[in-house]
Amino acid sequence: MQGKFKKFGLIAFGAVIGIMLSLNYSAVAEKEATKTMLSSLPVDDLRAFTEVFGKIKSDYVEPVEDKKLINEAINGMLFGLDPHSAYLDADAFKDLQVSTQGEFGGLGIEVGMEDGFVKVVSPIEDTPAFNAGIKAGDLIIKLDDAPVKGLTLNDAVKRMRGKPNTPITLTIMRKGENKPLVFTLTRAVVKIQSVKSKLVEPDYGYVRVTQFQEHTGENLAKALDNLYKQNKNPLKGMVLDLRNDPGGLLNGAIGVSAAFLPPNALIVYTEGRTEEAKMRLFGTRENYLRGPSQDDYLKGLPAGVKTVPMVVLVNGGSASASEIVAGALQDHKRAIVMGTQSFGKGSVQTILPLGNGTALKLTTARYYTPNGNSIQAKGITPDIVVEEATVNGVEAGMSLREADLERHLSNDKDTQINIRDKDKQIKIEVNPTNKNGAKDPKKGDTKSDAKNMPPELASKDDYQLTQALTLLKGLNIIAKR
């Protein structure tokens, strides 16, 4: 008997040594980490977990695989934290990597979870969902014939994705509608043009960023260069449109901000529990380029880009990376922010790959603007509030915001005084009657809505854009005087 125990002990000891070596920790560090981990483990709770696991395995009406139970347990752990932390299985992890390249299969909507249903945060421009008329704030209650209630967000996203050219029917509840709306969409390989530009008038440029992707910064640089070449003279004003931009890659946000700010300006900083989560990100090439060998796409920008008067347009669909850009330009007094309160997605999600091809998307920090304002659950407050009934197909006041999501991470600076008090804001109301015969912005363009056509880029009917151009022209008149 003693020999058996000795043999068992040697095997266990060998297993522990093997685990230590596979994790690449030094013996001393592993010993200390193991002591800390063991002392902090909630033994009673883990015992309850194993009892539940055992009961399901022995008594559930049908046999359940161990892998499914463990995956669901992991999903439940992350689901209970906040709306953005998630467990990514191998397929979801691969899809995430592909989507940042600007081309992926699906419908083209940024979604979140609310009351067990999928809510649309923002439709992405030039995608099947956007062109079909899906709007921010829509509540998806059925996918084909399957109810959404009870599905995890990952499960719902999987059902919405599929082979290109295959149909899917979305049943949607929309505020203001008496009955559900049914949309039949065709999945497509979504190719997102993240930067669009136009010379809206002589001397006035317009740049729209639809999403922050791997090449957004260099695409912006090309767009700005083209605008200055088209106009021949230095521009007198620039509108940066971030409305309904759901965010994306952080280095893209750094690159876009750095294009307009002085060299090495602080753009955003983060605070979290680990040292890796505490960052101060400046507009330096190492923070916006994908690698040291990549050419600096901001190096040859026209000199006027740094000083041209600017207005940044935001709304309730502006989230995450777009809020970082708006906050940086606002705090450095480089641009006037106009529109409505942004989404308020001010948390950092870190992708932590696991050894089996899966990954964790874990909230590890909060974002702060250069002046120390937390974006989380609050968003960017415009300097000039301009309401509009329809902005790129999204009705004003209908947008879902971070603070509306269940389990949203709180704003840790709620008790502090906001340096941009509401009583210091300028508010421009939409005139419900238009004597010039143009469409009533509160009613929208019913003809266009009926055809579900995407709006014209920098349309003359875009009330917020019109107000931005009016402001820029006024600033030029004041500067001359």
Active site residues: 320, 331, 345
Query: Quick one: DSSP state of residue 116?
Result: T
Q: Is 170 helix (H, G, I), strand (E, B) or coil?
A: strand
Concatenating the DSSP letter of every residue in 214-239 gives TTHHHHHHHHHHHHHHHH-SPPSEEE
Closest CA to 364 of 467, 276, 256: 276
- Distance from C-alpha of 343 to C-alpha of 378, rounded to nearest angstrom: 7
152: left (phi over 0), alpha (psi -120 to 50) or beta: beta
| Burial profile 82-107: b = 16 or more Cβ within 10 angstroms, e = fewer | bbbbbbbbeebbebeeebbebebbbb
Angle between helices 250-260 and 216-231 (to 10 degrees): 30
Which residues are bridge partners to 350 per DSSP?
Answer: 362
User: Backbone phi, then psi, for 70, in 5-degree steps?
Assistant: -70, -45
Concatenating the DSSP letter of every residue in 370-439 gives TT--B-TTT-PPPSEEE--SEETTEETT----GGGSTTPPP-TTTTSPPSS-GGG-EEEPPPS--TT-PP
Instruction: Enter the tokens of residue 159.
Output: 């059902």
Residues 181/151, Cβ–Cβ less than 8 Å = no
User: Backbone phi, then psi, for 109, in 5-degree steps?
Assistant: -135, 140
Closest CA to 458 of 101, 152, 200: 200
- Distance from C-alpha of 312 to C-alpha of 326, rounded to nearest angstrom: 7
Closest CA to 359 of 71, 67, 93: 93
A 10 A CB-CB count for 439 gives 15
- Distance from C-alpha of 319 to C-alpha of 233, rounded to nearest angstrom: 34
Closest CA to 457 of 133, 225, 310, 239: 239
Residues 137/175, Cβ–Cβ less than 8 Å = yes
